[in-house]
Amino acid sequence: MQRNYIANAPVLSSSGLTIAVIDPSDGQVFDHLQRSHAGDIDDAVRAARQCMNAVWSKLSAAERGRLLMRLSAKVAEHVDELAAIEQRDCGKPTRQARADALALVRYFEFYAGACDKLHGETLPYLDGYSVLTWREPHGVTGHIIPWNYPMQIFGRSVGGALAAGNVCVVKPAEDACLSLLRVAQLAAEVGFPAGAINIVTGYGHEVGDALARHPGIDHISFTGSTGVGTLIQQVAAERHCPVTLELGGKSPQIVFADADLDAAIPSVINAIVQNAGQTCSAGSRLLVDQAIYEPLLARLGDAFAKLRVGPAAMDLEVGPLIRQSQLQRVWDFLSDAQVADIPMVAQGYIVDEAPETGFYQVPTLLRDVPVAHRLAQEEVFGPVLAAMSFRDEDHAVELANATRFGLVAGVWTRDGARQLRMARRVKSGQVFVNNYGAGGGVELPFGGVRSSGHGREKGFEALYGFTTLKTVAIHHG
């Protein structure tokens, strides 16, 4: 039985209720979580505030950095353990689970080094005045985390907030809490003061909502779906609480006729099958120059047909989806495709070893998807790639920008001038040219435009969002 983690202690929720934890690879219950309620959020916020006032605000930036570096090293020692936890909890193939744990190591390392590099400025002003700016932490930050990459999103969000001098109350997704509860214990072991990192588990509409509404929360970092992001922003607006929203996407991979297809093809496939397509930045739309549409689809079709889906521990190309309702969501999209006569190019296959009770979905490549169809407009959050062709560069831009999202775009071309033109014209928080998120990008600011959200996390830029700027003007004559 898992407990909340408040003020460096595992605690039961006073609700007395629990949530079953299910292994997506076999659909079986193997643990239980606290189904917390608003009272538990109160406790966590109180512990955080106490920590802020008594301890955290008195540490120097260098001391905060040392703590974060110790946590990075501690997580590094526990990569295998954390990956195994994540694998069972979220159905991640071994390589992905390890990559997530290693990303967490890197986030804490990056933010450890950043703590004492964040500073204000002095500004030229009137004669007899000195003006300076200070970057001050918000105070107690609330972090609402999705289930698709719990460790990575915890690292970038909580890592950045702590580095900037905040203390944190975290609400992980009800499907993905176990690794974060363990990381909070590791933080206590390396010397984080009680109340710096608090974790309260439960349902979004219960504790997530209570966290977003809590008057003791000074800033909210929300990563999740666009619909819930709207609710969070509405709730936060009532008390003028600043919000960072990292939401969904329908990101295009745009392949021109002069692209290096040997480089593009594996990247296009990985961008839609990584984490079974349950990735905010999944490259879920494939826009292809009509001159190479048929040969590219033929090559991709051959590759899709070889993609294996199976239990996370088998470490195949694709693991299970997170839960039954997510599987149902993907089936609904695919049945809509059938009704609309959208042609299917190829599908992968589920291996014989996969238990029938697991949540398995074969990767699916669809072609000629009409731009107005929901498969070209909405986030499926499964391994479904929607391909369509474009006539020329203007048409490619028009299709790329034809959704309400703007998270990531991939551009594949050897033409340097076109690379820059496309990077400028595509409406997106990130544009990757001749790669798609290579290297993990801990150092690179990340976030969306339009319905993909606003604010930036990752990189040094995140620290500006996790602080507020105070201007001090002194008249000394």
Where do contacts with ligand NAD occur on this chain (CB under 6 A)? Answer: 144-149, 153, 171, 173-174, 204-205, 208-209, 212, 223-225, 228, 231-232, 246-249, 280, 379, 381, 407, 448, 453
Which ranges constitute the DSSP H helices of 140-177? 150-163
Task: In angstroms, give the least distance from the CB of 299 to ligand NAD.
Answer: 28
Task: In angstroms, give the least distance from the CB of 326 to ligand NAD.
Answer: 8
Do residues 6 and 170 make contact, with C-beta atoms less than 8 angstroms apart?
no
Task: In angstroms, give the least distance from the CB of 429 to ligand NAD.
Answer: 8
Q: Is 246 a catalytic residue?
A: yes
| CB closer to ligand NAD out of 247 and 354 | 247
| CB closer to ligand NAD out of 225 and 468 | 225
Catalytic choice (86, 109, 206, 246): 246
Which ranges constitute the DSSP H helices of 126-218? 150-163, 178-189, 209-213
| CB closer to ligand NAD out of 114 and 176 | 176
Q: Is 457 a catalytic residue?
A: no
Task: In angstroms, give the least distance from the CB of 363 to ligand NAD.
Answer: 18
Dist CA 248 CA 355 (whole Å): 30
Task: In angstroms, give the least distance from the CB of 12 to ligand NAD.
Answer: 20
| CB closer to ligand NAD out of 64 and 92 | 92
H or E segment and range at residue 309: strand 308-309
Dist CA 344 CA 336 (whole Å): 12
Task: In angstroms, give the least distance from the CB of 407 to ligand NAD.
Answer: 6
| CB closer to ligand NAD out of 96 and 223 | 223
Encoded amino acid at 327, one letter? L
Task: In angstroms, give the least distance from the CB of 69 to ligand NAD.
Answer: 25
| CB closer to ligand NAD out of 65 and 229 | 229
Q: Within 13 A of 431's CA, how many CA atoms are on the CB side? A: 19
Q: Which of 293, 306, 309, 300 is nearest to 264 (CA)?
A: 300
Dist CA 294 CA 389 (whole Å): 9
Helices (H) and strands (E) in the chain, counts: 15, 22
List, in sequence order, every residue forming a beta bridge with 431; answer none if it has no partner. 409
Catalytic choice (280, 317, 379, 457): 280
Question: What is the length of the chain?
Answer: 477
Q: Which of 160, 136, 134, 142 is nearest to 57 (CA)?
A: 136
Do residues 359 and 381 make contact, with C-beta atoms less than 8 angstroms apart?
no
Residue 266: how many other CB atoms lie within 10 Å: 12
| CB closer to ligand NAD out of 149 and 256 | 149
Do residues 334 and 374 make contact, with C-beta atoms less than 8 angstroms apart?
no
∠ CA 356-316-385, rounded to 5°: 85
| CB closer to ligand NAD out of 93 and 382 | 382
Do residues 74 and 190 make contact, with C-beta atoms less than 8 angstroms apart?
yes
Dist CA 309 CA 317 (whole Å): 6
Phi, psi of 389 (to 5 degrees): -110, 155
Among all residues, which ones are annotated catalytic? 246, 280
